[in-house]
Amino acid sequence: MRLVLTAVVSGLVLLAQPAQSQTYPTKPIHILVPYAPGGIADIASRIVGAKLTEAWGQPVVVENRPGGNAFIAMGAGAKAAPDGYTLTMATVGDVAITPALFKEMPYKWDDFAPIGTISDAPMVWAANANTPYKTVADMLAGAKAQPGRLSVGSPGNGSINQIVLEWTALNTGTQFQHIPYKGGAPAAAALAGGDIPFAILASSSAGPQVKAGRLRVLAVTGARPSKFNPEWPTLQSQGVKDVDASNWTLLLAPKGTPKAIVDKLQAEVAKILAMPDVKERFAGGGVETIPSTGAELDARVRKTAQQMAVIVEKAKIKPD
């Protein structure tokens, strides 16, 4: 309601002035989110959106267009008018994994003008506390003893979590059985209830279960330990070469958006991500803010996409 009022008031004010590119934004900005409300991409958009509204006096409307492997929102975001009024909040999977999985895509990375990275959510490889596996070495030994008999849960086929599983298996010469769930919550519940011995989860959904003594974290999946739980070792430090993955989000504009607008967005978003209260909000969800330039984001996506494509091919991950 407040948003609408702001829109009306600022709309009236702006009617008096001629629209110029320096005055961007002169109307509400839409952020397309390829996921249902409640996910990290959604919450990140809402936190950043609220701050953009504060800074620029224009409402930011978060539009959830879930589904279709994110094709619907990503396709719409790629084809939107390049005027800076339709942005897309994607996750690493949408830009680096999905293109390796599907032959026909309604969008490609080059359809976008990158604004910057937003948030970074660490993931963990966790074991049920009643299993005998205390370290990554224990687990790998178990997998070597009975190849393909140890089940590892993930939030779904083609998720970054599954990539971590296959990447680890490839680099250590082991085999696991992948059990996909419909999202992170059921996977966490299945692990906590002991249906499966292992799962690769967002650290935020594993954390409370670890405190309650139901789960044990064997490793974080990034190259560096998580800021919030420095006591958890990394996969790399336990002898799993190269594996480095986390679930990060990024903000995109359509290709052809005037550079002045992309730069203005980039600068403002970076400023927002550095604010202590914003950092605190993200930290509440176990997520770090990772401001970047568009060029840095572009380089990171290209590098990750290459890595992912190799893993997808070697591990024969297929959507069907």
Partner 1 sequence: METLGNLAFGLGVALTWQHLIYCFVGCFLGTLVGVLPGIGPVATVAMLLPFTFGLGPAPALIMLAGIYYGAQYGGSTTAILVNIPGESSSVITTLDGHQMARRGRAGPALGIAAIGSFIAGCIATLVVAFFAPPLAELALKFGPAEYFSLMVFGLIAAVVLARGSVIKAIAMVCFGILLGLVGTDVNSGTIRFGFGQPELTDGIGFVALAMAFFGITDVVANLEHKDKSDVYGERLGRVLPSWEDMRVSFWSIMRGTALGSILGILPGGGALLASFAAYMFEKKIAKPPRTFGEGDIRGVAAPESANNAGAQTSFIPMLTLGIPSNPTMALMIGALMIQGIAPGPQVMTERPELFWGLVASMWVGNLMLLVLNLPLIGLWVKLLAVPYRLLYPAIFVFCCIGVFTVDAKIFDIYMLAGLSAVAYVLFKLDCEPAPLILGFILGPMMEEQMRRAMMINFGDVTIFLSRPISAAFLIAAAVMMLLIALPALRAKREVAMQE
Partner 2 sequence: MRIRSPKDFWAGLFFIAVALGFIGLSRQYGTGNMHRMGPGLFPTLVSVLLASLGLIISARAFVVDGPPVPRFHARPIIVSLAAIALFGMALAQFGLIAAVAALVLAGAVASRESRPLETLGLVIALIAFSALVFVWLLGLPIRLWPDA
Interface residue list for partner 1 (CB under 8 A): 2, 36-39, 42-43, 46-47, 49-50, 62-69, 71-72, 75, 106, 149, 151, 156-158, 177, 179-182, 185-186, 188-190, 192-196, 204-205, 207-209, 211-212, 280-281, 283-286, 318-320
Angle at 271 between CA 266 and CA 289, to 5 degrees: 90
**Residue 189 interacts with, from partner 1, partner 2, none (CB under 5-8 Å by kind):** partner 1
What residue ranges bind partner 2 (CB under 8 A)?
1, 3-4, 30, 61-63, 320
Reported as half-sphere exposure (CB side, CA atoms, 13 A), residue 14 has a value of 18
Residues 305 and 307: their CA atoms lie apart, in Å, by: 6
For the bound state, the minimum distance from the C-beta of residue 227 to partner 1, rounded and expressed in Å, comes to 15
Give the span between the Cα atoms of 31 and 19, in whole angstroms: 21
The Cα 164–Cα 213 span in angstroms is 24
Q: Give backbone dihedrals phi and psi of 154, rounded to 5 degrees, phi first.
A: -145, 165
User: Which DSSP letter does residue 69 get?
Assistant: G
Nearest approach in angstroms of CB 277 to partner 1 is 9
**43 touches which of partner 1, partner 2, none (CB within 5 to 8 A by kind)?**
partner 1
| Least distance between partner 2 and beta carbon 59 (Å) | 9
For 150, the token pair is: 């140890």
Q: How far is the CB of 261 from partner 1 (least distance, A)?
A: 23
**Which of partner 2, partner 1, none interacts with 30 (beta carbon under 5 to 8 A by kind)?**
partner 2
Classified as helix, coil or strand, 223 is coil
Q: What is the DSSP string of 244-276?
A: ---EEEEEEEETT--HHHHHHHHHHHHHHHHSH
Out of partner 1, partner 2, none, what residue 4 binds, judged by CB under 5 to 8 A for its kind, is partner 2
110 or 320: CB nearest partner 2: 320
Nearer to partner 2, 2 or 211 (CB): 2
Nearer to partner 1, 28 or 106 (CB): 106
Which residues 6+ apart lie within 8 Å of 170 measured at CB? Answer: 311, 314, 315
With CB cut-offs between 5 and 8 Å by kind, which of partner 1, partner 2, none does residue 61 bind? partner 2
CB of 266 to partner 1, least distance (A): 22
CB 62 → partner 1: shortest distance, Å?
8
N-terminal to C-terminal alpha carbon distance within the chain: 44
Distance CA 128, CA 315 (A): 25
